[in-house]
């Protein structure tokens, strides 16, 4: 019988905080209850922001919390060739296109046309204008040859047209995994999302579905902030013929001001709590475990 497989997949672009601790410990707890495996994956495709120092901090923090995981640890930066092969397949099937508009050009175009009425994704970001999809192949090749910056974006309209039925995923009701319900996937809400960049042949969405499939991940347990993004990942899974895992999107650990904790805002990290004399059991109590 195949063991259920869970994973904790942090990015080494900052110090882990209590929100990460909760997610990691919950994955450990759910895997243990199910008699399953726990994997650790380092999601370091952002080579500009991810550092060996932050990665070392992740290992230190997780071991201090009492986590164990199967080896070897998968580092996404070591697998760009695999992501490139998947990207080439999407390019060949004309499901992605090179998008050349800069952020400033996007803002200017929206201001001139849609303004405040321009559609936005679930995170509140304006959807990418569809101008680049109308470019001829000759013009696309010319711009690429001239090293004009671009990103590969998923043509959501073309992609969803490939679907023969409704797109959905299975969501656990709570961490006991005693019951599930079906959630309708709405990738269209995100517009033409980035799936790769000129210099990095993947994005979070593309890498995560490839990795979950290659590692045999059966259960994805992660924060509620990624709930809506699951729609994009389910679309990619269907396009690539990948079996979807089941999902549980857990509550977020909030700061005193009511917002979710953030690396970029330098919320108190696990390392700082440890140095202040907080114990692993204290951390479990702080996050409600």
Average pLDDT over residues 252-272: 73
Distance CA 192, CA 11 (A): 24
pLDDT of residue 1 exceeding 70, the answer is no
Could you tell me what percent of the chain has a pLDDT over 70? 96
Average pLDDT in the chain = 93
Average pLDDT over residues 136-146: 95
Reported as a pLDDT band with limits 50, 70 and 90, residue 190 is very high
Reported as a pLDDT band with limits 50, 70 and 90, residue 3 is confident
pLDDT of residue 267 exceeding 60, the answer is no
Residue 274: the pLDDT is: 92
Up-side HSE of residue 221: CA atoms within 13 Å toward CB? Answer: 31
Tell me the three-class secondary structure of the chain, residue by residue: CCCCEEEECCCCCCCCEHHHHHHHHHHHHHHHHHCCEEEEEECCCCCCCCCHHHHHHHHHHHHHHCCCCEEEEEEHHHCHHHHHHHHHHHHHCCCEEEECCCHHHHHHHHHHHCHHHCCECCCCCECCCCHHHHCCHHHHHHHHHCCCCCEEEECHHHHHHCCCCCCEEEEECCCCCCCEEEEECCHHHHCCCEEEECCCCCCHHHHHHHHHHHCCCCEEEEEHHHCCCHHHHHHHHHHHCCCCCEEEEECCCECCCCCECCCCCCCCEHHHHHHCCCCHHHHHHHCCC
pLDDT of residue 268 exceeding 90, the answer is no
Could you tell me what percent of the chain has a pLDDT over 90? 87
Residue 115: the pLDDT is: 76
Backbone angles phi, psi at 103, to 5 degrees: -60, -40
Q: What is the pLDDT of residues 203-250, one digit of tens each?
A: 999 999 999 999 999 999 999 999 999 999 999 999 999 999 999 999
The answer to whether 254 and 288 have CB atoms below 8 angstroms apart is no
The answer to whether 248 and 223 have CB atoms below 8 angstroms apart is no
Residue 255: the pLDDT is: 75
Q: Give the residue from 40, 17, 12, 66 showing the smallest Cα distance to 286.
A: 17
Average pLDDT over residues 129-147: 94
Residue 284: the pLDDT is: 95
pLDDT of residue 257 exceeding 70, the answer is no
Average pLDDT over residues 94-113: 93
């Amino acid at each position: 019988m195949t063991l259920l497989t869970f994973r904790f997949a942090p990015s080494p672009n900052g110090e882990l905080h209590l929100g990460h601790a909760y997610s990691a410990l919950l994955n450990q707890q759910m895997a243990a209850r199910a008699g399953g495996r726990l994997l650790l994956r380092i999601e370091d495709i952002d080579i500009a922001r991810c550092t060996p120092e932050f990665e070392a901090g992740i290992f230190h923090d997780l071991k201090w919390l009492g986590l164990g995981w199967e080896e070897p640890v998968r580092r996404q930066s070591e697998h760009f060739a695999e992501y490139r092969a998947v990207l080439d397949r999407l390019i060949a099937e004309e499901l992605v296109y090179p998008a050349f508009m800069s952020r400033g050009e996007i803002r200017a175009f929206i201001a001139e046309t849609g303004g405040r009425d321009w559609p936005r994704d679930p995170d509140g970001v304006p959807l990418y204008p569809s101008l680049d999809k109308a470019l001829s192949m000759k013009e696309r090749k010319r711009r690429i040859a001239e090293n004009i910056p671009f990103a590969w974006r998923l043509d959501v309209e073309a992609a969803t047209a490939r679907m023969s039925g409704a797109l959905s995923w299975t969501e656990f009701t709570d961490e006991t995994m005693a019951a599930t319900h079906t959630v309708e996937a709405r990738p269209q809400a995100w517009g033409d999302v980035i799936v790769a960049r000129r210099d990095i042949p993947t994005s979070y969405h593309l890498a995560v579905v490839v990795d979950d499939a290659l590692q045999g991940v059966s259960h994805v347990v992660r924060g509620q902030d990624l709930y809506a993004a699951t729609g994009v990942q389910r679309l990619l899974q269907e396009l690539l013929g990948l079996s979807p895992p089941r999902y549980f999107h857990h509550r977020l650990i909030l700061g005193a001001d009511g917002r979710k904790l953030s690396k970029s805002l330098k919320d108190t990290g696990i390392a700082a709590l440890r140095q202040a004399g907080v114990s692993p059991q204290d951390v479990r109590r702080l996050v409600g475990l």
